[in-house]
Amino acid sequence: MRFEIIPAIDLKDGRCVRLRQGRAEDATVYSDDPLSMARHWVAEGATRLHVVDLDGAFEGWPVHREVVATIAAGVPVPIQAGGGLRTDEDISSLLAAGVDRVILGTRAVRDLAGLRALVERFGARLVVGIDARGGRVQTAGWREETDVAPWELGRDVAAAGVHTVIYTETGRDGMLQGPAVELIQRVAGGLSCAVIASGGVSSVEDVRRLMALRLPNLAGAIVGKALYEGLTSVRALQAVAEGEGD
């Protein structure tokens, strides 16, 4: 499968921001116009966008539904979106608004028994986000920690029929410290479904390290702060992913 470099667009108070390790109080604002930011990344070569409603994740309901819908309607590439999706209606409304894939996090962890029914209903358009720190899954906007290991949750959601998992090592998110390669290998290596890595990717060398794992189900990497800070580019990272970079 093609390895995609996926720019992140995190929404807080109607603006495009980046957090350090998911802390709401440690936010850097990069744009007051999320749609323009989305169009910028598409112009830079992005073939998919990752949109997270941070306020929704913290509040437990989709706060930025209209903003997400505007982005979906305003760019020619598929977007995957999540944050605060707790009900079937939340999922359906985002899909109806043009979102290609919706991301469940907290709900998937809290209701594994109901996850299979959701997969049967929404199929490959349902993605599960596994957010973890120190080998423990986090929920509710990364504010609550469980006793579940990410690789264990990965096996459970894959058994429920989930097609794609996004694994985020939250301690690396926004820190520009490189991805948690060993943990990514442990999570993705035990799954047959597609896995997208997130957290810490900041250079072409980071992408090389991910590609060196040679995991056939590693489908991409979500990149945020490194792009916003101009440390690298979508095209440079994608070229390395496709074996064309220096």
Tokens of 206: 């980071």
Phi–psi pair at 127, nearest 5 degrees:
-115, 145
Give catalytic status of residue 131 as yes or no.
yes
- The answer for residues whose C-beta is within 8 angstroms of residue 67's C-beta and 6 or more apart is 11, 14, 34, 35, 53
As beta bridge partners, residue 10 has 17, 52
Of 10, 53, 90, 206, catalytic: 10
Candidates 229, 221, 216; CA nearest to 204 is: 221
Q: Which residues pair with 126 in a beta bridge?
A: 102
User: Tokens for 184?
Assistant: 């990514």
Alpha-carbon dihedral of residues 198, 64, 156, 92, nearest 10 degrees? -130
Residue 76 CA to residue 97 CA, distance in Å, equals: 14
> Where is 222: in which H helix or E strand?
strand 218-223
How many other β-carbons are positioned within 10 Å of the β-carbon of residue 242? 12
Token pair belonging to 215: 């995991």
- Specify whether 55 is catalytic: no
Query: What 3-state DSSP class applies to 153?
Result: helix
Single out the catalytic residue among 53, 55, 90, 131.
131
Give the span between the Cα atoms of 28 and 14, in whole angstroms: 13
Active site residues: 10, 131
